[in-house]
Amino acid sequence: MKNYADLWLGYRKIEDPGDTSLLKKFCISGVAESDKVVVNAVSELRTGLKAMLGIEPDIVFGSAGAPVSINSGKDMQDAEEYTVSIRDEGLAIDSKSGAGILYGVFDILRNVACGGDVRSIYASEKKVRPSNPLRMLNHWDNMSGDIERGYSGNSFFFENDDIVINERTEDYARLIASVGINGVVINNVNVKNAASYLITDRFFDKVAKLGEIFAGYGIRLFLSLNYASTIEIGGLDSADPLDEKVIAWWKTKMAEIFEKIPTLGGFLVKADSEGRPGPFTYGRTQADGANMLADIVKEHGGIIIWRCFVYNCKQDWRDRKTDRARAGYDNFMPMDGDYHDNVILQIKNGPMDFQIREPISPLLGGLKKTNQMLEVQIAQEYTGHQIDLCYLIPEFKEILGFRTYCSEDRDTVADIISGETFGSRFSGIAAVTNTGNDFNWTGNYLAGANLFGFGRLAFDTELSSEQIAEEFVRMTISRDDAVVKEIVGILLPSREIYERYTSPLGIGWMVTPGVHYGCSVDGYEYDRWGTYHRADHLGIGVDRSDKGTGYAMQYNEPNASVYNDPEKCPDELVLFFHHLPYTHKLHSGKTVIQHIYDTHFEGYEEARELAKKWSTLKGKVDDEIFENVSERFERQLANAREWCDQVNSYFFRKSGIPDEKGRQIW
């Protein structure tokens, strides 16, 4: 008996399946039968159909093309395309790669599991090409076994400074491949303990084994790297990217690493940020650092994913022109075009740090000559720690749909990261993942919707939040239409509800310092001199207009002008960009202060409604799931109450303006 849940690969039996004749015969073409990914795909098809329908299908193979080796670029994305069609009263799956066949299999199994009518779904040939070349999960798992910003137990990769490989490892690969993930970084970007660096002889065999398991599901393994490894483990006194000794050390090291771990895709690097070493120490640029490593890994087919989360966490906020939000753009824009072609810059969705509402980073659409990747976070660091429900897919849809005005057409974030806008070979999307070794993988069962949804959306950015939620519920919890409707109805508004009882109008950061759960209105940990929100008795918000920090001007027009003007700026971001009197009228017609009061009271009530809806599902969903989510809702309500009371009383006391609806403010 496994000590973890199957989640959406549970393949529950279908009692009344209707016409299943097409599912008895399959023809797989374009690939070799012996390809490891194809072998896994066939095994999955058999397992799924047997469990759901009791069918043991005939599977034949058509002609095979030349084998495709897994890589991280556009050519892989092309090879991952698959078609499913009806042929000779059976189903045919065609692709140029094993991964494509695997995705075709999961397409069919998903439709069966969701209760779809296979005959009509595949009546005309279904051709699917992933929207993004790279679709990655970033683990912030430490070798000790704990997870930075982990809310669902410990790591299932590491324990006591060693690597764990067991049945769960393979099932994890299956789970994430089933939603289209094709890259995974297994260790934290904060690579700290030199004694347990994964790029040392001590770990090569096990990392290679992990790489093979992932490769069997079309997933490439990546590692986070300590930029100063030359010093930490190399015995050198420098990590200067232009120093010949440093370059020589990396050349030898990389040759060894790629020889020992042949499936490795490359590295993810956090440099010059939050205490991590980087090229700035040597007066070099981020491009110098990234290019040095990229040039060396190139001959091994590797890529360097370099994070743009570079800011000075020790900045002196008393200087009102200094602004953390500006840092990404200020540090990376001047070198647009300097990054070599196997470097990808990985950019957090917002300029700060995964707050519940931020504008889109101006680097996305600012950079025009550089490979770009979007980084989002499904680990709910600032969005409720997988205690509070926060279905993030609607937020990701907004991010992807944002028009950057970086070109005449195809200018959305989705267009840019797909590689289409600028014709990039390497691009894509990564999520800081929300998994751990809890029985249900994500702490809260419903947080599984973010893991499932991230993968589905990364694979097909056109899918709606609703469709993704519905698939998740049908595959993971219940096929009963009424139950599905209820749970989808709980998931969909949860992000906006969370926003309402926490941070209004884009203000952010009012969380308990360090922990990032629970309300602390003045809690921004990096400003020892004041408050992040800059509230006084007259007003609130950060002036990022051209009269303030100038951040608004980092956007392309017309976005810059819209954000720069409080009259044009969308309400939900207005305090991110402007310092405004509490009496300022929003587009909604409400004053800022009344908006704060209303959203907090409403948010709390809406959270209560969600919990109430969930309570009606007792006996209609598995008890384990029911109890897990109920217990989380109980904690969420206490948290929401606390937020509502603290925020409202804080701003009532600051502003002296009563709630126009006369509600009790504590």
Return the active site residues. 274, 353, 381
Rule CB under 6 A: say whether 189 interacts with ligand GCV: yes
Nearer to ligand GCV, 190 or 467 (CB): 190
Residues β-bridged to residue 64: 30
Position among 158, 214, 309, 441 found at the interface with ligand GCV (CB under 6 A): 309
Nearer to ligand GCV, 353 or 598 (CB): 353
Between CA 615 and CA 599 the distance in angstroms is: 24
Between CA 219 and CA 89 the distance in angstroms is: 32
Sites for ligand GCV among residues 127-146 (CB under 6 A) = 140
Nearer to ligand GCV, 188 or 412 (CB): 188
CB 207 within 8 A of CB 221: yes
CB of residue 269 vs ligand GCV: minimum separation in angstroms?
11
Rule CB under 6 A: say whether 281 interacts with ligand GCV: no
CB 487 within 8 A of CB 477: yes
Give alpha helix (H) positions in 516-655: 559-564, 574-577, 592-615, 623-655
Nearest alpha carbon to residue 320 among 511, 530, 513, 503: 530
Nearer to ligand GCV, 410 or 528 (CB): 528
CB of residue 382 vs ligand GCV: minimum separation in angstroms?
8
- How big is the site for ligand GCV, counted in residues (CB under 6 A)? 10
CB of residue 348 vs ligand GCV: minimum separation in angstroms?
7
CB 421 within 8 A of CB 575: no
Rule CB under 6 A: say whether 270 interacts with ligand GCV: yes
Q: Which amino acid is at 68?
A: V
Rg over CA atoms, the chain = 25
Position among 85, 190, 238, 315 found at the interface with ligand GCV (CB under 6 A): 190
Which residues does 69 contact at the CB level (< 8 Å), separation at least 6?
Answer: none
CB of residue 274 vs ligand GCV: minimum separation in angstroms?
6
Sites for ligand GCV among residues 325-354 (CB under 6 A) = 353
Nearer to ligand GCV, 140 or 459 (CB): 140
Position among 148, 295, 338, 602 found at the interface with ligand GCV (CB under 6 A): 148
DSSP string, 424-445: -SS-EEEEE----SSTTSSSSG
Angstrom CA distances, 160 to 139, 151, 225, 279, stand at 17, 19, 19, 31
Q: Name the strand (E) or helix (H) holding 303.
A: strand 303-307
DSSP string, 321-369: T--GGGHHHHHHGGGTTTS-TTEEEEEESSSSS--SS-PPPTTTTT-SS
CB of residue 454 vs ligand GCV: minimum separation in angstroms?
16
Specify the stretch interacting with ligand GCV by CB under 6 A; choose among 183-191, 296-304, 356-364, 403-411.
183-191
Nearer to ligand GCV, 140 or 445 (CB): 140
CB of residue 282 vs ligand GCV: minimum separation in angstroms?
21
Specify the stretch interacting with ligand GCV by CB under 6 A; choose among 2-10, 182-190, 197-205, 436-444.
182-190
Q: How many CB atoms lie within 10 A of CB 602?
A: 14
Q: How many CB atoms lie within 10 A of CB 349?
A: 25
Binding site for ligand GCV (CB under 6 A): 140, 148-149, 188-190, 270, 274, 309, 353
